[in-house]
Amino acid sequence: MENFEYIKNNLFRYEFISNLVNDKIFDHQKNMSTTYHSAKILLENNSKEIFSCNDIKSNKIMSRRTNNEGNIILEMKEINFFQSYFDNIISFEIINKENIKQYFELYSNLLKENGTLILLVPNKEKMIIKNEINFDKNEIVKEISLKFKINEIYSQRFLEKENKKIENKLGIIREKSAKIIKKIDKNEKLYRRIFQKNMKKINSFKQNIEKIPNDDFIPKKFDKNKQSLFLLFICKKI
């Protein structure tokens, strides 16, 4: 979901958690293009310094804080120096079946005693395309409980499955059509006859996403009778 919908999802998540975190934060997210905006949201509340990265193997981490003039200062630091350093860790859509044990061990080492982990994963029961980043609730709860105590569970995006089906199908249409055009469409006849038509459908879907009420992007307390696209966990280090 690397598009405007992903960005909107993320912005509402950070707005929601901004009052739940403070002081020093490790923001572990897959899309580094959104780290400035997420850091700005957190710094405008109770946070003092935001450290962001998407690849712990590099041992490099971006640090953002505000100076006396209110400007955001960016520095690069070594992640190895931050054992038991962070008050909070934010982990949105970066955990998967292969790295979960490694990352939970890392989070536990980086957090101070009684530090907070805020974890978000796609809900396996609601996602049409199945992949390694999707978890069902019982599965992820079991993994979390090995290192953390779950205080609260929230849900985000109460959309019908049919909307997700449409999004996935249109994405597949666009990808396949583009490959065909590159190979055989010398005079753009295929583009006008097939691809252009499907692009109108894709644009229509984007307009529908933009019309989704903002309230649907705000996380709400988990209700087992209302399955959502995402599950958000507020956890404490044990």
Where are the chain's structural domains?
A: 4-159+215-237, 161-210
Instruction: Give the tokens for residue 192.
Output: 């006008």
List the single range of 75-89, 153-167, 208-222 with lowest mean pLDDT: 153-167
Of 83, 115, 117, 85, the closest CA to residue 100 belongs to: 117
Encoding tokens for residue 81?
């120096």
Tokens at 210, concatenated: 């933009």
Structure tokens at 88: 């909070």
Q: How high is the pLDDT of residue 117?
A: 98
CATH of 4-159+215-237, one of 3.40.50.150, 3.30.70.100, 3.30.470.20, 3.40.50.1390: 3.40.50.150
| pLDDT (tens digit per residue) in 132-156 | 788 999 999 999 999 999 999 999 9
pLDDT of residue 177: 61
Share of the chain above pLDDT 70, in %: 74
Residues 6+ positions from 165 with CB-CB distance below 8 Å:
128
Kindly indicate the confidence band of residue 120, based on its pLDDT and cuts at 50, 70 and 90.
very high
What pLDDT, on a 0 to 100 scale, did the predictor assign at position 207?
54
What pLDDT shows up at residue 27? Answer: 95
- Measured CA to CA, the distance from residue 118 to residue 107 in angstroms comes to 10
Question: In this structure, are residues 52 and 62 in contact, taking their beta carbons and an 8 Å threshold?
Answer: yes
Q: Is the pLDDT of residue 1 over 60?
A: no
Residue-level pLDDT at 60? 80
What is the mean predicted confidence (pLDDT) over 11-38?
90
Query: pLDDT higher for 6 or 221?
Result: 221
Q: What is the average pLDDT score of the chain?
A: 81
Nearest to 90 by CA among 156, 15, 8, 6: 15
pLDDT (tens digit, 9 = 90+) per residue, 170-221?
556 666 666 665 565 555 555 455 555 555 554 554 555 555 677 778 899 9
pLDDT of residue 106: 92
- The 3-class SS string of the chain reads CCCHHHHHHHHHHHHHHCCCCCEEEEEEECCHHHHHHHHHHHHCCCEEEEEEECCHHHCEEEEEEECCCCCEEEEEEEHHHCCCCEEEEEEECCCCCCCHHHHHHHHHHHEEEEEEEEEEEEECCCCCCCCCCCECHHHHHHHHCCCEEEEEEEEECCCCHHHHHHHHHHHHHHHHHHHHHHHHCCCCHHHHHHHHHHHHHHHHHHHHHHCCCHHHHCCEECCCCCCCCEEEEEEEEC
